[in-house]
Structure 1
C-alpha cells in the first residue's frame, strides 16, 4: 500500500470531519470539567480530532448534534444490539419507572424469574443472578470460582475481552510467558500473581498452564471479539472443556459480545457446556444490565457452604444489581426484540455484509480477511485470518483503520470505533448493508489510486 497516499487521504477525511461537525467540536472544546473532555475516557477512541456528539438514536440510526444521520453498525459496541430505543422496551421502562415506580426499591420483581427462566432456555445454565455490567458479572463469577475451588488463579486467553476485570489484563509475551497487557492503569499487583494466560486455539499451551493445579477457572470468550473476531478452530472448544474437567478447573463462557452468534450465543449454537456464563450490554435493550448463570450442581455447592456470606459482606452483588427497571427492560428485550426470529434475520444481513466486504477485498487483491459470528462481521488487515489474539493484535493498522472509519462516517456510516466491526440489529435493512458495500468499495478504489 502507498503509505503516502494513505496519509494524504486520511488528512483529507480528517479535515472534512472537522468541517462537517463544528457543533461537536465546540462541545468537545467546552468540556473542561470532564476527565479527558468526555464522560468516559474510552470515548476518545475515535478517528479524528474529537468525537461526534449524540443528539438522538432510533432503531439502526444515530443523529449527531450537527444534524447528520448515520446508519449505525456500531450499535453501542453490542450494547444496542436490539436497536436504539426499541418501542416495546421503552414502554416497559416507562411503565416500570413512571407509572409503577419503585425502580430501585431493593425488592425483587416477578420479571426477574421470567428472565432467569428465559436465560436458562437460551443458554442452559440452571441458576441466574444479575448485575449492571458484564464486567461485574465476570468479577462475581471469579469470586465464586475461587471460593468453590480453593484455587487462587484465573486463566484467560491473550487479548480476550472481559471488561475492566484486573485478572483479565494479561497477554502472552514474546517469550511465551504471561505479562501485563500494555497500557494497563493502576494494577493492584503483578497480574501474573492472579492470572495465567494461553493463546486462543492453543490447547498445548492451555494444558501447560492448567497443569500447575492453581487455576480456579478459565474465563473465555468462545470466539475472540474485541481484538477482531478470531473464530475457534475445529475441536478447540471441545478440547478446552475436556482439559478443564481433567484438571478440576471451572469453565466460564463470557457471551457478552458472542451473543451475536444466536439467541443462546455460542453456547447454544455450538453445544457448549460451561459451568458458568456471563453476559451483559445487549440483554437490557439499552438499559444497563448484566447477568451470570451457574450450573445447578455448582449453585448447590455454593449455597451449601455455611462459611460463605453470599448475602451481606461476601463481595457478590451491588445495591442496584437486579433492580426492577433493569429486569423489566431485559424481559421486554428478550421476549419481544432479540427473539429467535430476529437473530435469523440479523444473521442473514450479516452474511450479506460479509459478502460485500469480501467482494471489495477480492476486487483489489488485498491481503485482508473477513470473519463473521452470527450477526457480527469484521475485517482484518491480514490473510489468512488471525488464529490467536496476539496475531490479531499484530494485524492492527491505526492509520488505515482511521481512514476507513472517517471515510465511512463522513458518508453517513458508523462502525465500532475500537475496531472494524459491524453489527446488525432487528431494524437494520438490506439497503443499509448495501450502502456500506458501496461506500467501502469507493474507499478501496481511492486507496488504490
Structure 2
C-alpha cells in the first residue's frame, strides 16, 4: 500500500469534513468548560479535528447539528442496538415519567421480576440484580465471587473489554503480565488483583488457573472492542472444563456479544457460565445493566451474614434497578429486541459481511472480517486469534481514512475500529450504501478510482 497516497487522501477527507461540519467545529471550539472539550473523554476518539455533534436520532439514522444525516452503524457502540428511541421504549418511559412518576424512588417495581424472568429465559441464570452500566455489573460480580470463593484474583484475556473495571486492565508481556498501556491512576498494581492469558490458548489458561488463587474467569465469549476475535473450535468448552477442574467460577460478559442473538453467545453457543453480565443494549438507550447467577449461588451468597449486601458493602447503588431503567428494559426485551428482530438484524449483517468480503477478495487485500450475529468488523490484517495479535494489527491511519471517508458521505461507524452493528430499523439500502462507499474508498486508496 502506498502510505503517501493514504496520507494525501486522509488530508483531503479531513478538509472536506471540516467544510461539511462548521457548526460542530464551532461548538467544539466553544466547549471550554468541559474536560477535553467533550462530555466524556472517549468522545475525542475521532478521525477529524473535532467530533460531530448530534442533533436528532431516530431508528437507524442520526442527524448532526449541520444538518447532515447518516446511516448509523455505530449505534452507540451497542447501547442503541435496539435503534434510536424505539417507540415501545418511548412509550414505557413516558408512562413512567408522565403518568406514574417516580423514576427513582428507592422502591421496587413489578417490572423487575418480569425482566428477571425474561433474562432467565434467554440466558439461563435464575437470579438477577441490576446496575446502570456493565462496568458496575462486572465490578459487583467480581466482589461477590471473591467473597464467596475466598480467592483473591480474577483472570482475564489480554485486551479484553469489560468497561473500566480496574482488574481487567492487564495484558501479557514478553516477561509476564503487565498493566495495559495508558491505565489511568490505578489503585494498585493490577498483577496483585488479576491474572491474564491470551484468548484461544488453553495451555496458558490452565497454567494461570493452576496457581489456585483465581476466584473467576471473567470473559467475553468472543473478544470485542479490539476487533472481533472468535473462539477456536472447542475453546469455550475447554475454558468451562478448566474452570471447573481448578475450582474457579466462569462469568460471561455479554454486553457486546449480545449481538449474537436473543440470548447472546450463551444461548447461541449453548454455554453454561456461572454468572452472566449484560449492559448497554438491554435498556433501549436508557442506562441499564444486569448480572445473573444460579439459584444455588445466590443462596450461598445471601447466607453469608458477614457480607453487607444491603448497605455499604460495595455492591449496589441508589440509582441501580430504578423504575425508569426497568420500564425501559422490559419494553426493549419484550417488544424491540425480539426473536424476529434478531433474524432481521443478523440477516442484514450477513449481507454486509458478504459485501465487504467481496471487496477485499476483489482487490486481493490481506485484510480479514469477522461477524458475530448482528455485529461485523473488518481488520487490516489476517484474522487475529487473540487480543494481542488484534492489538498489533491496528492501523490508525487506515482506520481514520475509512471512518472519515464514510462519514463525509453519510455512513457512521463506531469510532472504535471499524465495527458496524445493525438494529431493527436498519435497512438493505443502508447496507448497500455502506458497501458502495466502502468499495469506492478502497478503490481510491489503491489508485483504481
TM-score when scaled to structure 2?
0.99
* Structure 2: runs of 5+ lacking an equivalent: none
Q: Does 1:100 align with 2:100?
A: yes
Deviations 1:169-195 (A, max 9, x none): 0001123x2100001100001100000
Report deviation, 1:271: 0.6
Q: What does 1:368-379 correspond to in 2, within 5 Å?
A: 368-379=367-378
Q: Distance in 1 between matches of 2:289 and 2:110?
A: 17
Q: Distance in 1 between matches of 2:18 and 2:99?
A: 43
Counterpart in 2 of 1:289? 288
Deviations 1:342-370 (A, max 9, x none): 00110000000001100110111000000
Report deviation, 1:117: 0.1
Counterpart in 1 of 2:437? 439
Structure 1 residue runs of 4 or more that deviate by more than 2 Å after TM superposition? none
Q: Does 1:30 align with 2:14?
A: no
Counterpart in 1 of 2:252? 253
Counterpart in 1 of 2:418? 420
Count of residues in correspondence between the two structures: 447
Counterpart in 2 of 1:189? 188
Counterpart in 2 of 1:381? 380
Counterpart in 1 of 2:405? 407
Q: Distance in 1 between matches of 2:24 and 2:405?
A: 18
Report deviation, 1:306: 1.4
Q: Distance in 2 between matches of 1:340 and 1:46?
A: 34
Q: Distance in 1 between matches of 2:258 and 2:140?
A: 20
Counterpart in 2 of 1:164? 164
Q: Secondary structure at the match of 1:431?
A: helix
Counterpart in 2 of 1:4? 4
Deviations 1:362-414 (A, max 9, x none): 1110000000000000001111x000000000000000100000000000000
Q: What does 1:31-430 correspond to in 2, within 5 Å?
A: 31-175=31-175, 177-383=176-382, 385-430=383-428
Report deviation, 1:253: 0.2
CA-atom RMSD, angstroms? 0.5
Report deviation, 1:312: 1.0
Q: Secondary structure at the match of 1:189?
A: coil
Deviations 1:35-59 (A, max 9, x none): 0000000000011100000001000
Report deviation, 1:301: 0.6
Q: Distance in 1 between matches of 2:307 and 2:182?
A: 35
Which is worse superposed, 309-318 or 232-241?
Answer: 309-318
Q: Distance in 2 between matches of 1:339 and 1:64?
A: 29
Q: Distance in 2 between matches of 1:80 and 1:332?
A: 14
Deviations 1:260-299 (A, max 9, x none): 0000000000010111010100000000000000111111
Which is worse superposed, 295-304 or 69-78?
Answer: 295-304
Deviations 1:233-282 (A, max 9, x none): 00000000000000100100000000000000000000101110101000
Counterpart in 2 of 1:17? 17
Which is worse superposed, 306-315 or 230-239?
Answer: 306-315
Q: Secondary structure at the match of 2:231?
A: coil
Q: Distance in 1 between matches of 2:343 and 2:295?
A: 30
Deviations 1:126-178 (A, max 9, x none): 10000000000000000000000001101000000000000000001123x21
Q: Distance in 1 between matches of 2:180 and 2:359?
A: 34
* Structure 1: runs of 5+ lacking an equivalent: none
